[in-house]
Amino acid sequence: MTTSALPFSLDVATRELHVDGTLVSIGARAFDVLALLASNSERVVTKQELLETVWGGLAVEEGNLSVQISTLRKALGAKSISTVPGVGYKLALGDVHAPSVRGPALPDIPSLAVLPFANLTGDASQEYLVEGIATELIGALTKISGLFTIAATSSFSYKGRTVHLPDVGRELGVRYVLEGSVQQAGQILRISVQLVEATTGRVIWSERFNGTLEGIFELQDRLTENVAAAIEPNLRSAEAIRSREKPQNDLRAYDLCLRAEPMIRFTSKPEDFASAFGLLDEAVDLDPGYAYAKALRCWSYTGACGGRFISHSDAVHILPDAYGLLDSGTSDAITLAYAAHTVAYLDKGAEIGLVAIRRAKSLNPNSVTVLCSSGWIHAYLGQFEIALSDVERALRLNPLDPSHGFARSALGPIMLGLGRTNEAIAMLEDSYHEAPTYGSTVFSLVCGYWRSGRLEDAKRMARELLKINSDLTLRYTLDTTPFKYPPILKLFSDALPACGIPEV
């Protein structure tokens, strides 16, 4: 059989490959990989299928497949074979001359995106665990001050998509891309990873890590250290792992946190918060000393209240946990950020939150979570220039977040505070389209439209706000708002009654 529809000639009978009429010599494994991809050129071929078919069921490392893919890209062109993160590979020769997408400039320090890992456990219900392992790795890498790491929500936007690694590098503005997979046999985990230079598709380093579910944190620590060393030998990864909050008594608490996090990541789904509350209550009950579970539960109530999905009175019971975390001396930046934002939002404690968020930023200056919370807390105090800088950096670290509602929503009051009303409206409208039921965005749009003289639009948004929270009044707003900047409070007092929000 000879291929003809593709821009190369592959003769299976003679096992010859011709590219542009020239005979190209490749190894037997590479030939078999290409033959399988060519015979299935209309679809993505999974890594598992390639390993099982080409190696005939032999137990081989995924790195062997990576080597063959690299060989084929050298022979056919860097963009000849697309990677589908978390799935496998697909021939993409028809796209070789597609125009490039220009993205952010490369940072002046090593930069990395971690693509979603492939779930090779054979169990789709374990997808949350596979995603959690990659997310934990990203979180650890962001703590390394000499490394610029793209946030998980941007990296994971490629999940299930056919991608060219050079395009990923350009779109995210990074020099390196990390791919990986997770296999599981009972309690045994095997994580295989490879580091690729985005512009060339060249595999720089690959490794396999074995461990157990009970030892997952030690396994993740080893993975973090090795990835950092592979990118830049002088990078010290100790700072990335020294402060991770770990369950003290029950690993099931960690599992429950992994399940809850996606439920509160997307702010337009109020029903998910209720599910998250239950999971996190269970996690804290299982391991009362697990600080991160308490912090995530604080954040879930703060996010639900900020979205106007629950009332302030339904959320304030979580404040003792938040204050306890701030007093605990924790050196985990995310835990600090969640607790600081909870105190700032639910207890008008922006000054207290500011102290904690500054420490969180010093511990992890590259965390999108920390930067977003820092932006909000500075905005509560009227420190809009600092707030703007933090949120803009968060957006650069997370350029492809499929749900930018939370970050862009913060830009609304920040721009209003800076007097840049039209920019505020533009940002808030983007946020609204991404998360139309997120109450903070709708609230700020009411104020922005009113200030710009667009009264009918402001009234329309006020009606939307009352659909989200029918009990909303001006008095409730002023009694519970975390904002302390007098001009912003005056804007609330003037805009809300004029747009149809009851005063009491």
Give the CATH number for residue 295: 1.25.40.10
Lowest mean pLDDT among 29-33, 193-197, 353-357, 404-408: 404-408
Same-domain status, 144 and 251: no
Q: Give the count of domains, the chain.
A: 3
**Domain closes at, from 323, 342, 364:** 364
Same-domain status, 285 and 173: no
Same-domain status, 236 and 92: yes
Same-domain status, 52 and 146: yes
Tokens 């779109």, residue located: 171
Same-domain status, 219 and 266: no
Q: Which amino acid is at 209?
A: F
Domain for residue 22, yes or no? no
Give the CATH number for residue 211: 3.40.50.10070
Domain for residue 400, yes or no? yes
Same-domain status, 228 and 146: yes
Domain for residue 17, yes or no? no
Domain for residue 14, yes or no? no
Same-domain status, 388 and 332: no
Residue 256 has pLDDT above 50, yes or no: yes
Same-domain status, 39 and 57: yes
Same-domain status, 407 and 457: yes
Residue 6 has pLDDT above 80, yes or no: no
Domain for residue 439, yes or no? yes
In terms of pTM, does the model score above 0.75? Answer: no
**Domain closes at, from 242, 265, 296:** 242
What CA–CA distance (Å, rounded) separates 90 from 302? 43
Same-domain status, 228 and 105: yes
Domain for residue 192, yes or no? yes
Question: Three-state DSSP class for 60?
Answer: coil
Contact yes or no for 33/50 (Cβ under 8 A): yes
The model's pLDDT over 33-74, given as tens digits with 9 standing for 90+, comes to: 888 888 887 788 888 888 888 887 676 777 778 778 878 887
The model's pLDDT over 427-444, given as tens digits with 9 standing for 90+, comes to: 888 788 777 888 899 999
Domain for residue 143, yes or no? yes
**Domain closes at, from 242, 273, 304:** 242
What is the average per-residue pLDDT within 178-207?
Answer: 86
Same-domain status, 260 and 197: no
Q: Can you give the residue range of the structural domain that contains 147? A: 27-242
Beta partners for residue 81, in sequence order = 91
Q: Which two tokens stand for residue 42?
A: 């209309």
Domain for residue 18, yes or no? no
Residues 6+ apart with CB under 8 A from 405: 266, 267, 268, 431, 434, 435, 438, 441
Same-domain status, 191 and 309: no
